[in-house]
Structures are given as structure tokens and as C-alpha cells.
Amino acid sequence: MEVLKERKEFDLKAMMTSEFPEVRLEQAQPFMELMMQYRCALMEVETKLNVLNAEFAMKNNRNPFESIKSRIKSPISILEKLHRKGYELSAESIEKNLADIAGIRVICSFPDDIYATAKLLTQQDDITVLEVKDYIKNPKENGYRSLHLILEIPIFLSEQKKNMKVEVQFRTIAMDFWASLEHKLKYKKNIVNPEEISKELKECAEASAALDLRMQALRDRIEADQK
């Protein structure tokens, strides 16, 4: 009975002061149910993307996606973000204030595939676009490029229909490669001349963006010759 009682409790303030807050969070029944709902939302969006990929491949004789990766934010990351932003520590607060609990990263072959696929996805009548951040047309200061969408999609449970938020990031292979390495280098300690490193990283981002456009132009030439 004590174990069952503990699983039903959801006192995040107590969790934050405990030795292993993420473990206590994972054992809380409301949190477990919410994470299950986010996983269902991920499955819905992944299915839509896979259908678009299959149709695109049939019509154009090539796949627009190199890979699709999904993840649910870890309990400790959720707690830290709620605490850092000063939000209430509750299941309702997680759902209301955090839009990146469920995330999908779509790696595309070319930049125009990103916009074509994003348009097809967001035009579907059961998807609501809550936010768009285009870091491809407007890169971040450090050179980061990606298209970020916050979507709302319904899931159908046994007793209810519920709208859930999912973050979808679209990148090319070059954008993803740069972002992965930049993330690793950013957390290195005792870096000599960090300003110089930041400058070189930005130059690498610009070079990779130029490569994306050059490869896209080559693809267009080849397809035009075939026609």
C-alpha cells in the first residue's frame, strides 16, 4: 500500500529537495500518465512524417528524409527547466508551460526538402501550428541553423481526446553535423581563446550552409538533365 501511495503522489517541491528527484518523479502516477500521452503524440507525428516520406519517394523517386529521431525530455531536465524558469512544479505546469517535452528531429537531404515537408505536415487539418522559429533564414548568432515548429496534435485515448504539444526540428545533414559538434565543443572546459573558437564555428556554419545550397543546385541540374 505504501508503494502504491507513493506512486500516486506528485509533490514536485519535495522531489526537488530529495537526493534523486528524477527517480521520485518517474514513480509519480500523474507524471507517468503525462509522459505516456506525449509518447502517443510522438507516434502520431512520426506516422504522418513516414507517410509523407513514402508518398514523396513514390512521386519523386527519392526520399526527402535521411532519418527521423524522437525523444521524450528526461525527468531531471524537466525539473531543472521548471525550476530555472520559475514555473509551478506540477504536472499541469509541465503541460502548460513546456513545449519541448516531446521532440522529433527530421534530417533532410536538402534545404528545400525541409520547407516542402514542413508545409505538407502543417497543412494537415488535425495539426495546429503554435509557433515557428526559422533559424535557417535567420540563423542564431553562433551560426546555428534549423527550422523549429511547435505543433499541437490530438491523441485518442480510451476515455478522451486530448491535444498534445510536439516540437519538430528540421535540419539538413550538414546542419545536424555542425550542431552536434558545436554542442560538444560548447561544454568543454578551460578553452583557450573562446572568442576565436566561436568565430571559427560561425565560419564553419556558413560554409556548411553554402555547401547545402551548392549540393541542392547540383541536384536540380541533374534532375533537369534527366527530364
Note if 46 is an active site residue: no
Q: Rounded distance, CA 92 to CA 89, Å?
A: 8
87 contacts: CB under 8 Å, gap ≥ 6: 93, 97, 98
Residue in 167, 182, 196, 200 annotated catalytic: 167
- Contact in structure between 73 and 26 (CB atoms under 8 Å): no
Return the active site residues: 167
